[in-house]
C-alpha cells in the first residue's frame, strides 16, 4: 500500500457527495415518508420541478451513497495502515469509532430526521473490523460475492412479486383521539395492510411535523426509521458492504494515487456507457411499476447503474483535483469534505429548521423546485462555514469529538 497521506481528492469527493446526497434527501425532508412509495414525476408543480425530479433521479439517487460508502471503506483501510505502521491496536480503536458514529446516528434520528445513514454505517461497518485486515484481492472477492448475491435476491423478489396479484386498497376511517400521538398509536394498532404504507399515517405525519408537538413528531420519526430499516436490510446492505470492501481494496491497491489514472478513465467510460443508460432506464421504469419490466429495470438501474456512476464520479473528481486546475473550486470543497460528519448533520439541522413546526413549518407544502432552492442555499451556507472553520482549526467540531472518543486522547484543534 502507498504511503498514508491525506488525499485531497477524497476530501473533494466527500464535499461533492454531501451535495448529491442532500439533493436526494430533500424529498424525504419535505414530504411524508409514505410518498416514497409513489415515485412519480410531479404533475402540478411546473416544468422546473419536473426538471429537478429527473435530474435528481438520474444523476443523484442511488449514486452518492455508494460513493460515500466507497470513501468510508477507503478511510478504514488508511486507518488500518496508519495503525499498523505506528504499532497501535486497530480492532478496539475502530470499534470505538463505530460506536461513536452510531451514537451520532441515534441522536440524528431522535432529534432531527429519520433518514439517517450513520447508524447503518456503524452497524455494517462492524464487518470491516475483520475484513479490513484482508488483502485487496480478498476484499474484491467478498465485494463481488455479496453484491452478486444481493442482485440475484432482488431479481428473485421482482419475479415473485410479478406472479402475485394486486390487492385493491381499502380505505379505513381515521380513529378519534384526543391528541395526535394517541391517534397515531390507534392507527398503528389498526394498520391498513392492503396498502404498502397506511395513508392515515401520512396524514398524521404531515400534521405533527407542521404543528407539533415535538414528542409526537419524534415518535413518528422513530417509527419511520424502524420501518425503513426493513428496506435497508433487504436492499442497501447488499450495496453498502460491497462498497466498503471495494473502497478498502482500492486504497490498498493504490488507486487514490495518480499512478492509476488509466483505470480511472476506464471507470469513467464504464459509468457513461453502462451506468448512465441503466440509470435513465431505471427512472423511466419507475414511472411504470405496475408492470414486471418496470420493476426489473428499476432494480437493475439501482443495483448496477448507481454504483457504476458513483465510481465514475469518484474517478472524475480525482483526475480533476490532480490536474491542479480550478483550485478555487476544489479547495473549498476539500475543506468541506474534511469535516463531512459535521456538515452532514448541519444539513439535517438547517433543512429540518425549514420544514419542522419549530422552524418555518414548510413540511408537506413544498415543491421539488423549492426544495432544490433550499438545498443549494443551505449547502452554500455550510460551505462558507466549513471554510471559515478550517481556516482556523485543523478538524471539524464533531470530528474532534469523534477522534477523541476513538483514540481516548484529545486531538489538537487549533492550527
| pLDDT band at residue 163 using 50, 70 and 90 as cut-offs | low
pLDDT at 217: 94
pLDDT at 165: 54
Over residues 23-41, the mean pLDDT reads 86
Answer whether residue 414 is part of any domain.
no
Answer whether residue 1 is part of any domain.
no
pLDDT tens by residue, 331-368: 999 999 999 999 999 999 999 999 999 999 999 999 99
Say which range, 32-36, 351-355, 370-374, has the weakest mean pLDDT: 32-36
Answer whether residue 412 is part of any domain.
no
pLDDT at 363: 95
Over residues 163-189, the mean pLDDT reads 79
The C-alpha cell 438545498 sits at 375
Task: State the cell numbers at 156.
Answer: 428473485
pLDDT tens by residue, 63-108: 999 999 999 999 988 888 887 787 777 788 889 999 999 999 999 9
Number of domain units in the chain: 1
Q: How far is CA 97 from CA 79, 130, 264, in A?
A: 11, 15, 30
Phi, psi of 414 (to 5 degrees): -80, 155
Answer whether residue 2 is part of any domain.
no
pTM check: above 0.75: yes
| pLDDT band at residue 6 using 50, 70 and 90 as cut-offs | low
Radius of gyration of the chain from its Cα atoms, rounded to whole angstroms: 22
Answer whether residue 179 is part of any domain.
yes
Over residues 35-51, the mean pLDDT reads 85
Neighbours of 234 (CB within 10 A): 13
Decide: 321 and 261 in contact? Cβ < 8 Å: no
What does pLDDT average to over the chain? 89
| pLDDT band at residue 383 using 50, 70 and 90 as cut-offs | very high
pLDDT at 27: 93
Answer whether residue 192 is part of any domain.
yes
Answer whether residue 3 is part of any domain.
no
Residue ranges making up the domain that contains 230: 8-407
pLDDT tens by residue, 249-266: 999 988 987 666 788 999
Over residues 107-134, the mean pLDDT reads 93
pLDDT at 150: 87
pLDDT-above-90 percentage for the chain:
61
pLDDT tens by residue, 282-299: 888 877 766 666 677 777
pLDDT-above-70 percentage for the chain:
93
| pLDDT band at residue 208 using 50, 70 and 90 as cut-offs | very high
Over residues 1-30, the mean pLDDT reads 85
Integer Cα distance of 244 and 26 in angstroms? 25
* pLDDT over threshold 80, residue 3: no
Integer Cα distance of 108 and 116 in angstroms? 6
Answer whether residue 196 is part of any domain.
yes
Amino acid at each position: 500500500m502507498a504511503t498514508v497521506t491525506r488525499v485531497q481528492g477524497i476530501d473533494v469527493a466527500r464535499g461533492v457527495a454531501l451535495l448529491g446526497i442532500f439533493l436526494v434527501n430533500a424529498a424525504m425532508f419535505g414530504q411524508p415518508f409514505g410518498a416514497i412509495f409513489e415515485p412519480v414525476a410531479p404533475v402540478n408543480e411546473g416544468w422546473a420541478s419536473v426538471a429537478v425530479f429527473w435530474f435528481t433521479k438520474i444523476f443523484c439517487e442511488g449514486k452518492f451513497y455508494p460513493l460515500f460508502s466507497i470513501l468510508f471503506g477507503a478511510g478504514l483501510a488508511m486507518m488500518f495502515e496508519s495503525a499498523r505502521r505506528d504499532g497501535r491496536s486497530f480492532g478496539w480503536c475502530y470499534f470505538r469509532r463505530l460506536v461513536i458514529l452510531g451514537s451520532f446516528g441515534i441522536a440524528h434520528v431522535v432529534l432531527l430526521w429519520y433518514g439517517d445513514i450513520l447508524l447503518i454505517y456503524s452497524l455494517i461497518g462492524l464487518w470491516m473490523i475483520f475484513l479490513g485486515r484482508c488483502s485487496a484481492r480478498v476484499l474484491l472477492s467478498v465485494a463481488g460475492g455479496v453484491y452478486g448475491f444481493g442482485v440475484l435476491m432482488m431479481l428473485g423478489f421482482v419475479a415473485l412479486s410479478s406472479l402475485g396479484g394486486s390487492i385493491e386498497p381499502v380505505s379505513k376511517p381515521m380513529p378519534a383521539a384526543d391528541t395526535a400521538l394517541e391517534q397515531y398509536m390507534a392507527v398503528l394498532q389498526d394498520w391498513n395492510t392492503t396498502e404498502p404504507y397506511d395513508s392515515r399515517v401520512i396524514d398524521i405525519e404531515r400534521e405533527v411535523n407542521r404543528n407539533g408537538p415535538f414528542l409526537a413528531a419524534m415518535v413518528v420519526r422513530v417509527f419511520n426509521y424502524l420501518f425503513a430499516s426493513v428496506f435497508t436490510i433487504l436492499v442497501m446492505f447488499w450495496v453498502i458492504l460491497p462498497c466498503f470492501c471495494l473502497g478498502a481494496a482500492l486504497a490498498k491497491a493504490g488507486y487514490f494515487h495518480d499512478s492509476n489514472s488509466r483505470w480511472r478513465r476506464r471507470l469513467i467510460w464504464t459509468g457513461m456507457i453502462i451506468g448512465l443508460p441503466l440509470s435513465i432506464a431505471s427512472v423511466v421504469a419507475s414511472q411504470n411499476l405496475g408492470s414486471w419490466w418496470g420493476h426489473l429495470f428499476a432494480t437493475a438501474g439501482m443495483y448496477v447503474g448507481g454504483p457504476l456512476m458513483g465510481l465514475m464520479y469518484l474517478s472524475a473528481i480525482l483526475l480533476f483535483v490532480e490536474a491542479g486546475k480550478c483550485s478555487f473550486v476544489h479547495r473549498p470543497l476539500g475543506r468541506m469534505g474534511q469535516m463531512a460528519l459535521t456538515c452532514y448533520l448541519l444539513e439535517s439541522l438547517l433543512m429540518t429548521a425549514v420544514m419542522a413546526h419549530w422552524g418555518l413549518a414548510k413540511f408537506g407544502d413544498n415543491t421539488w423546485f423549492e426544495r432544490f432552492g433550499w438545498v443549494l442555499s443551505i449547502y452554500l451556507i455550510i460551505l462558507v462555514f466549513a471554510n471559515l472553520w478550517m481556516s482556523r482549526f485543523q478538524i471539524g467540531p464533531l470530528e474532534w469529538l469523534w477522534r477523541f472518543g476513538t483514540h481516548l486522547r484529545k486531538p489538537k484543534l487549533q492550527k
